[in-house]
Amino acid sequence: MEYLPNTMCVIEDNLSIRKLYVILIKKAGFDVKEFEEGIAALEWLSHNSPKLVVCDDKLPDTSGLEIIPKIRAFAHGKKMPVIAVTGFAQDGDKERYLTAGFNGYLSKPITTSSFVEQIIEIANAAQ
């Protein structure tokens, strides 16, 4: 397992949004490992420990809610900061994600000027 403290993992199926995340994270000085599908991301995460993981819920092959227990199942995944960034923003959604094991929750659309700060803050709080 490789520890990557300067790398953030992005799991997002929407290309435009994924690009936006990559731009924002890189401009903040971090490396980005991006995934369109969840299964591939899980495979990578099983061997790597990034600074944090930004995860959409609705993915082509799985969902964020299915991924999070599997990440927590890894020995190094128990304290891995994983933030749900999703378009589901109805009443109760935030609690549902936090209960499922996510360290934080951000609803779309995001505020680009503060997005990286927000996820870092959540990651720091988690650790």
Partner 1 sequence: MNMTYDSAISASVQEKKHSIFQFSKTFPALIVLIAGIAISIFIWRFLGNQIQNDNRVAFDKATTSVVNRLESGVKENEQILSSINGLYANSVQVVRDMFELYGSIPTRSNNALLSVCYVPFVTQQSKEDFIYYAKSERYYDYAIKPEGNRDIYYPIEYIVPLEKNMHRSGFDIATNATAMSAITEAKKNNGAIVASAFYDVRPDTAGFLMMFAVHKEITDQLAAQLQGSLIDGIVMLELNAKVFFERCIGTSTPGDSNIVYSITQENSNKHVFASNNFTLSGTYSPLLIDQRKVKIADKELTINFATVPNFGGTFQAYTPLMALIGGIITSFVAAAFLLSVLTSRARAEDLAERMTRSQRRIVDASQDIIAVIGLDGKWKSLSPAVQAILGYSQEELLASDFGNLLTTDAYIKQYNGIVTSAKDEVGTSFEGQMKNKKGDILWMSWNLTVSRTDGLIYAIGRDITLQKMAEDQIKMKNRQVQLAEQSALEVSEFKSQFMRELSHGLRNNLTGTLGFLQLVTDKVYDTEDEMQSYIANAENSSEQLYVMVTDIDDVTESVGSDVAAQKQHFQADKLLLSLKENARTIKDKKLSVVQGEDSAPATIYGKQQLVTNAINELIIALTGSMNEGTITINTRPNTYEKVVEVELMVTPNDTVAEMIDLYKKNINNLVDIIPKDQNEIIFHLGLARSMVRRCDGTLLVESLGKGEPNICQITFPMGKITKK
**Residue closer to partner 1, measured from CB, 4 or 96:** 96
> Closest distance between partner 1 and the C-beta of residue 108, in Å?
4
CA-to-CA distance for 109 and 14, rounded, in angstroms? 13
Give the binding range for partner 1 (CB under 8 A) out of 29-37, 46-54, 72-80, 104-112: 104-112
CA distances, 99 to each of 18, 35, 55, 77 (Å): 25, 24, 15, 16
For the chain, what's the residue count? Answer: 127
Determine if 112 is a binding residue for partner 1 (CB under 8 A). yes
Q: Is 101 in the site for partner 1 (CB under 8 A)?
A: no
Nearer to partner 1, 2 or 92 (CB): 92
In angstroms, what is the minimal distance from the CB of 3 to partner 1? 27
- Partners of 117 in the β-ladder: none
Sole binder of partner 1 in the list 46, 48, 107, 118 (CB under 8 A)? 107
Q: DSSP letter at 56?
A: -
Strand spans (E) along the chain: 2-11, 31-35, 48-55, 82-86, 104-107
Q: Using the rule CB under 8 A, is 14 a contact of partner 1?
A: yes
For position 74 contacting partner 1 by CB under 8 A, the verdict is no
Q: Contact 37/10 with Cβ under 8 angstroms?
A: no
Give the residues lining the site for partner 1 (CB under 8 A): 14, 16-17, 19-20, 23-24, 27, 57-58, 62-63, 65-66, 86-90, 96, 107-113
